[in-house]
Amino acid sequence: MSDTHAQSVQFVRGTMIPEQDPPITEKGALKWMRENLFSSWLNAILTVLSLYVIYWVLAHILPWTVGGIWDAESLSQCRDIRDASGIDYNVACWAVITDRWHQLLFGFYPSELYWRPILALIIFGAAIAPILFETLPRKMLIVSIAAPFLAYWLLWGGSVWGPIAVAFGFGIGWAIVTYGESLLGALGAIIGAIVVPVLYWLFLAGPVGAALQATLPIGIAQIGSNQFGGFMLAIIIGVSAIVLSLPLGILLALGRQSDLFIINKCSVIFIEVIRGVPLIVWLFTASLLLNYFLPPEVSFDLMLRVIIMVTLFASAYIAEVVRGGLAALPRGQYEGADSLGLDYWQAMRLIILPQALKISIPGIVSTFIGLFKDTTLVVFIGLLDPIGLSQAIRADSAWNGIYWELFIFIGLCFFIFCFSMSQYSQWLERKLNTGHR
């Protein structure tokens, strides 16, 4: 009886076993290496081979890079310094960067006016910040509205009334959209908001700006587009095309899905024609042929023509990316908008486009990155982008024969810009919970 009673009593722990550290192979770096680098014999062999390749590459690159010369006035002087130091292998002549960095960044912009593009870049950063990060005060959007006109005035100079007269045209378009819908309808207000400002810019903006300048002359030294170059040129063309191509691409995507025959076919023809021809051909068109289709008294600056053509080219690709996002939405989203009694533009603005753009974020950012890198193609039409300036620097007898140092610096700068866009894209995707869980 006592044995049966003893067996029926459950064991109750009186004290807890103290915590112990996991085995050394199950934590920290050793665990990560075992799971990722040496999880099998094949992975172990590949790891060893990879480490050897990395060592071989670094053993040849690091001495050339780290042991480079930064203080010299020519390539021949770099070689003399290297020989005097007793170095028996080639080293980088980084002195070309310290000697010509200002040209690579600003082109032939007057050095005493470098503060103007720097200030324009700061203003652009302040303008784009509330658009990229919603936690910032919405009052900063005032800077976003004024930044394009202020940046243009700082970069090119001249009368302050010119950008103000151009900005007034956007005010006219906003007024037509806001107050003209009751008289013209939604579609009529949109068409009027496009046509009326364009006519104003073509025929009235110039005289209005000139009259205001004659009445109250305010301005700064004017700089021609032929003095722009380097990364400043690439940033101006790239940023302008990115900012302008996104809304134009969205409109083209909506037009391609429109039930209106003319709008649909015009959008399809535009997208297919633009996408079917390489960008370099369109740049030559902007450089050589565009003036033939303009009135004799109208002359567009080459840089402006390039911005227009690059914008149109990018908008065609953005349109297809956005159209893919629209096609990915289930039909129920459109039916839900109809059940709420929303008209076409309200449904697109409040329900359809936010979801489509969220889906299209990777494609849109990839297009922007490719567009920014393609700005180097303007070298073929005579604009001195960083690649064009590197050729001009190497044409100087002092730096004739230098290659890798310039290209490495240019590639590093492009990588910083493109990597920043890529990281922001990934952060935005995580923030909006895009993708499948």
pLDDT, average across residues 259-270: 89
Comparing CA positions, the residue from 99, 100, 81, 106 lying closest to residue 91 is 81
Q: Above 70 in pLDDT, residue 2?
A: no
Q: Above 60 in pLDDT, residue 3?
A: no
Percent composition of the chain: helix, strand, coil (DSSP 3-state, to 5): 75, 0, 25
pLDDT of residue 150: 93
What does the pLDDT look like over 136-179, one tens digit per residue?
Answer: 888 888 888 899 999 999 999 989 998 999 999 888 888 888 88
pLDDT of residue 6: 52
Rounded Cα distance, 312 and 277, in Å: 12
Handedness of CA 156, 160, 162, 168 (dihedral sign): positive
DSSP 219: E
pLDDT of residue 346: 82
pLDDT of residue 409: 93
Q: Above 80 in pLDDT, residue 289?
A: no
C-alpha dist (Å) from residue 111 to 116, 231, 296, 381, 427: 10, 15, 36, 25, 37
pLDDT of residue 396: 86
Identify the three-state secondary structure at position 220.
strand
Rounded (5°) CA angle 122-365-415? 65
pLDDT of residue 9: 55
pLDDT, average across residues 386-395: 89
Q: Above 50 in pLDDT, residue 421?
A: yes
pLDDT of residue 410: 93
Q: Above 60 in pLDDT, residue 116?
A: yes
Residue pair 86/77 in contact (Cβ under 8 Å)? The answer is no
CA–chain centroid gap for 109, Å, is 23
Mean pLDDT taken over the chain: 86
pLDDT, average across residues 343-348: 81
Which pair of tokens denotes residue 430?
A: 């995580």
- Name the more confident of 20 and 388: 388
pLDDT of residue 11: 63
Q: Above 90 in pLDDT, residue 336?
A: no
Which pair of tokens denotes residue 20?
A: 């112990």
Q: Above 70 in pLDDT, residue 348?
A: yes
Rounded Cα distance, 394 and 108, in Å: 16
pLDDT, average across residues 238-260: 91
pLDDT of residue 131: 87
pLDDT, average across residues 354-379: 91
pLDDT, average across residues 315-339: 88
Q: Give the global pTM.
A: 0.84
pLDDT of residue 298: 61
Q: Above 60 in pLDDT, residue 122?
A: yes
pLDDT, average across residues 250-259: 89
What does the pLDDT look like over 193-207, one tens digit per residue?
Answer: 888 888 888 888 888
pLDDT of residue 233: 93
Q: Above 60 in pLDDT, residue 435?
A: no
Handedness of CA 218, 199, 303, 307 (dihedral sign): positive
What is the percent of the chain with per-residue pLDDT over 90, rounded to a whole number?
35
What does the pLDDT look like over 197-244, one tens digit per residue?
Answer: 888 888 888 888 889 888 888 889 999 888 998 999 999 999 999 999
User: Domain 103-109+227-432 adopts which CATH fold?
Assistant: MetI-like fold (1.10.3720)
What does the pLDDT look like over 66-104, one tens digit per residue?
Answer: 888 888 888 899 988 888 887 777 888 899 999 999 999
pLDDT, average across residues 6-16: 64
Residue 162's φ and ψ, nearest 5 degrees, are: -60, -55
Element (H, E) at 21: none
pLDDT, average across residues 415-425: 93
Residue 69's φ and ψ, nearest 5 degrees, are: -105, 130
Q: So where are the chain's domains?
A: 24-96, 103-109+227-432, 158-220
What number of residues does the chain have? Answer: 437
- Reported confidence tier of residue 294, pLDDT bands at 50, 70, 90: low
Q: Above 60 in pLDDT, residue 40?
A: yes
Q: Above 60 in pLDDT, residue 4?
A: no
pLDDT of residue 295: 62
pLDDT of residue 312: 93
pLDDT of residue 104: 92
- Reported confidence tier of residue 437, pLDDT bands at 50, 70, 90: very low
Comparing CA positions, the residue from 421, 402, 398, 401 lying closest to residue 410 is 402
- In 151-282, DSSP assigns E strands to 158-159, 219-220
Q: Above 90 in pLDDT, residue 365?
A: yes
